[in-house]
């Protein structure tokens, strides 16, 4: 691992994006966040607001009729939406996850077709790597794809697919040559109208309840040859390269959750009085707030550094992307838990958003690779010759 101390610089444009997304999120997303969680329903208002304001998929390059925002701007969008509603932040985050394999390795035709439909807000994209028996060990997947004339025919079941059922486009990893292990896996762009594509059951979850997590069944699902993403056998490499670019976005979601909880807790402790004074006057409370703010800020910087290095096209993104996601998600879990503590009994009720933020934060330590897997990625990068 080469030491690289290059950091990042926020431009006026980045600050303007933050202001615009914060204002839109507070007005048009926050008012529905509790209801979306309670009713476990898709945040339709958030989707409409994100599309109307042009923030649902800012990462899509201009060549494919997108806005071509850089990786830091994309993180800022996700962070600011997550500050008020983590479920809604998965709309821009998973749009990047679902399209990144195509943007990295797909044909120009596929990039345009999928990229332009996501950029316009016509639909969303999802990413289908995991299976029930192949989570951390994703290369153990069983979903198969075989050639049939000018088509590919997919069979198998993917699970845990975020925004499945809502999205029209799915990047699906499947085994095309079982003899070759990970080098026998290929990636495909599957459309929900393709014959044999079936959306299965929805998971009942601890958090991010507004974001559907579903099974996808492929029952002789037939896609034309031009929907393979890159060369046959390159799919697993593309899937991992995608995660190098998108783990910072999960870090950004975690930073947003931490910031949202910190803001709630800071407001509360100034108002709440015990022992004849505001509880913010107690040093024990002040030290908790300072620790929470310190962790949130450190996580934010790490996420932006990872995003900037991805944007610069640096080769060895494994360590920094994994570290940013791991650090930020641990920070989010600790900060949201402390926020519940600072609100006391009120924090444990659904009258305040911090308990939702704590439940939502947990998933950031699990998806796009658990934090144990992030540590494996980091160590591998550190120990390689």
Ligand X SMILES: Cc1cc2nc3c(=O)[nH]c(=O)nc-3n(C[C@H](O)[C@H](O)[C@H](O)COP(=O)(O)OP(=O)(O)OC[C@H]3O[C@@H](n4cnc5c(N)ncnc54)[C@H](O)[C@@H]3O)c2cc1C
- For binding to ligand X (CB under 6 A), which residues are involved? 126-130, 135-136, 160-162, 205, 208, 213, 363, 366-370, 372-373
Beta carbons within 10 angstroms of residue 294's beta carbon: 12
Does the active-site annotation cover 355? no
Q: Which is nearer to ligand X, 60 or 377 (CB)?
A: 377
> Rounded to whole angstroms, what are the CA distances from 303 to 91, 212, 299, 350?
19, 26, 6, 30
Cβ of residue 12: shortest distance to ligand X, in angstroms? Answer: 34
Q: Which is nearer to ligand X, 69 or 138 (CB)?
A: 138
Cβ atoms 79, 259 nearer than 8 A: yes
> CB-based contacts of 180: which residues, under 8 Å, 6+ apart?
233
Cβ of residue 329: shortest distance to ligand X, in angstroms? Answer: 12
Q: Which is nearer to ligand X, 79 or 215 (CB)?
A: 215
Q: What is the dihedral of CA 364, 93, 134, 161, to 10 degrees?
A: 110
Beta carbons within 10 angstroms of residue 245's beta carbon: 23
Cβ of residue 123: shortest distance to ligand X, in angstroms? Answer: 16
Q: Which is nearer to ligand X, 74 or 242 (CB)?
A: 242
Q: Which is nearer to ligand X, 237 or 272 (CB)?
A: 237
Tokens in use for 328?
């930020």
**CA 66, CA 125: separation in Å to the nearest integer?**
14
Residue with the CB atom nearest ligand X in the bound state: 135
Q: DSSP H helical segments within the chain, as ranges?
A: 12-28, 30-39, 44-52, 71-82, 86-105, 108-119, 235-271, 283-311, 318-342, 344-347, 354-363, 371-383
Tokens in use for 133?
């028996």
Cβ of residue 351: shortest distance to ligand X, in angstroms? Answer: 25
Cβ of residue 137: shortest distance to ligand X, in angstroms? Answer: 6
Q: Which is nearer to ligand X, 76 or 239 (CB)?
A: 239
Cβ of residue 181: shortest distance to ligand X, in angstroms? Answer: 17
Tokens in use for 198?
């079936």
Q: Which of 131, 215, 355, 368 is catalytic?
A: 368
Q: What angle do CA 376, 260, 351 make, to 5 degrees?
A: 120
Using CA of residue 251, residue 257, residue 260, residue 261, what is the dihedral sign?
negative
Q: Which residues are annotated as catalytic?
A: 368
């Amino acid at each position: 691992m080469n030491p690289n101390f290059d950091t990042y610089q926020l431009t006026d444009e980045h600050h303007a994006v933050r202001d615009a997304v914060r204002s839109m999120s507070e007005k048009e997303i926050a008012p529905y966040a509790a209801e979306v969680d309670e009713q476990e329903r898709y945040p339709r208002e958030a989707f409409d607001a994100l599309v109307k304001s042009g923030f649902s998929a800012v990462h899509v390059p201009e060549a494919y009729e997108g806005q071509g925002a850089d990786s830091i701007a994309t993180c800022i969008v996700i962070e600011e939406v997550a500050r008020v509603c983590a479920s809604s932040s998965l709309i821009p985050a998973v749009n990047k996850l679902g399209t990144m394999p195509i943007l990295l390795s797909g044909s120009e035709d596929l990039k345009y077709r999928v990229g332009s439909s996501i950029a316009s807000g016509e639909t969303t994209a999802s990413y289908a790597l995991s299976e029930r028996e192949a989570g951390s060990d994703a290369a153990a997947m069983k979903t198969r794809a075989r050639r049939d004339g000018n088509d590919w025919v997919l069979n198998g079941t993917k699970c845990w697919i975020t925004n499945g059922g809502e999205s029209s486009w799915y990047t699906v990893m499947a085994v095309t040559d079982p003899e070759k292990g990970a080098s026998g896996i290929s990636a495909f762009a599957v459309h929900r109208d393709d014959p044999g594509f079936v959306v299965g059951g929805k998971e009942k979850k601890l958090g991010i309840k507004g974001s559907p997590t579903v099974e996808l069944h492929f029952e002789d699902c037939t896609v034309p040859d031009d929907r393979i993403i890159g060369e046959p056998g390159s799919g697993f490499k593309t899937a991992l390269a995608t995660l190098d670019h998108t783990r910072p976005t999960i870090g950004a979601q975690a930073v947003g959750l931490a910031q949202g909880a910190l803001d709630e807790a800071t407001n509360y402790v100034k108002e709440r009085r015990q022992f004849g004074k505001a509880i913010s006057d107690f040093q024990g409370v002040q030290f908790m707030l300072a620790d929470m703010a310190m962790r949130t800020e450190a996580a934010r910087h790490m996420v932006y550094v990872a995003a900037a290095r991805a944007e610069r096209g640096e080769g060895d993104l494994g360590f920094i992307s994994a570290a940013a996601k791991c650090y930020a998600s641990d920070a989010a879990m600790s900060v949201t838990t402390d926020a519940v503590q600072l609100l006391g009994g009120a924090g444990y009720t659904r009258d305040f958003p911090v308990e939702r933020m704590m439940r939502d934060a947990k998933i950031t330590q699990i998806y796009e690779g658990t934090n144990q897997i992030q540590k494996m990625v980091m160590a591998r990068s550190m120990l390689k010759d």
